[in-house]
Structure 1
Amino acid sequence: MKIDDRVEQLVRDILHWAVKRKPDEFGNALRAFPDEASRRSALELLVAIGGYTTVDIFGQRPSEDQVRKLAVDIAEDEGWASVTAADVAAYLDAVLGGNRRLDALPSERLVPLSFVVAANLLSSKPKAPGEWWFNYLDKVEAMIEAAR
C-alpha cells in the first residue's frame, strides 16, 4: 500500500489528539479532511495500522477471546471517546478479516472509532525506553508500504 503523504499527515495529527485524549481537539481535527477521497484513504491506512498492530501485539493473529478482551480494554481506556467494547470488537473483527464488514458499522462512528482504536494500539504497545507511539507508527507504516 502506498501511503499518501498528505493523508498521512492528517492521520498523524488526529492520532496525536486521540493519544492525548483531548476530545475537543480530536473532534476539530476530524473535520480537517478536505474531501471524501482523503477520508477514505485515511480509513484504509487506519485499517492497515489496526490490523498490523493487533497482530504485532499478540505476536500472531489473535483468537476471538483475545479480540474480545482487547476490545473491553480499549473501551475502558478510551472512555473519553465513548467507544463501546461491542463497537471495538466489531471493528477489530472487520480489520482482521472476520465475518463482519466495516460497512456494517454506523458511518458516523466508523471514522472516530478507527482513530481511537489505532491510537490506543499504537500508544499501549510496550516500547523501548525513549520510543514513543509515533516512532512505532513509523515502523508500522514502513511495514505497510513494504507489504504492497
Structure 2
Amino acid sequence: MTEDPLKIDERVEQLVRDTLHWAVKRRPVEFDEALKAFSDGPTRQSALELLAAISAFVSADICGGKPSPEQIQQLAVEVAEGEAWSSATTPEVEAFLSAVVTGRALSGVLPVGSAVVLAFVVAASLLSARPKSKGEWWFNYLDKVEAAIESAG
C-alpha cells in the first residue's frame, strides 16, 4: 500500500495561516491568543503535521535540496536569532528541523506544548526569510508550498 499525499484539512489550514500571520509579524500577545485554537489533540496533531511538512519543504527549498546537518545547524541559528521575540532556542530549532527533514516523529524530540509553538515559529521564520519575487508575500509562497505538499507522495 502506498502512502497517500498529505491531505490538508481546510479548517486547520485556516487556523494555521491565522496563527502564522502573528508569528511572521512577531506579535507575541496575538500569537499566544491564536495558539488557543490548537487545544484539542486532533487539531493540534493536524497542525503539527502541516507545519512539519511546510518547514521540511521550505528548508529544502532554501538549501537547494535536503539540508545537511551543517545547513540545519545554520538555519537553526538564523531562526533562533531572528525570532528572539519567541522562546525558541538554537538547540530546540535544530532538533525540530532535524526531525522534520528526516521524517522522524516529533513526539520523542520535543514536549508537545513546545513542539507546537516551535513549529509555528520555525515555519513562520522560514516562510518569511526565503527570498521571494518582488510583490510576492510569505502567504503567496505558502500557497505554492501547500500545493506541492498535497501533490507529493
What TM-score comes out, normalization by structure 1 length?
A: 0.95
CA apart distance, 1:34: 5.8
Q: Does 1:23 align with 2:17?
A: no
CA apart distance, 1:31: 0.1
Tell me, in whole angstroms, the C-alpha distance in 1 between the residues paired with 2:13 and 2:112: 21
CA apart distance, 1:35: 2.2
CA apart distance, 1:32: 1.4
Query: What does residue 3 of structure 2 align with?
Result: none
Query: What does residue 111 of structure 1 align with?
Result: 116
The alignment of Structure 1 onto Structure 2 pairs a total of residues equal to: 147
Q: What's the C-alpha RMSD, in Å, of the aligned pairs? A: 1.2
Which sections of structure 2, spanning at least 5 residues, go unmatched? 1-5
Which sections of structure 1, spanning at least 5 residues, go unmatched? none
Q: 100-109 or 42-51, which moves further after superposition?
A: 100-109
Q: Does 1:66 align with 2:71?
A: yes
CA apart distance, 1:24: 0.3
Tell me, in whole angstroms, the C-alpha distance in 2 between the residues paired with 1:113 and 1:33: 13
Tell me, in whole angstroms, the C-alpha distance in 2 between the residues paired with 1:101 and 1:14: 22
The residue correspondences of 1:78-89 to structure 2 (distance < 5 A) are 78-89=83-94
Deviations 1:74-133 (A, max 9, x none): 0000000011000000000000117x6411212221000000000001000000000000
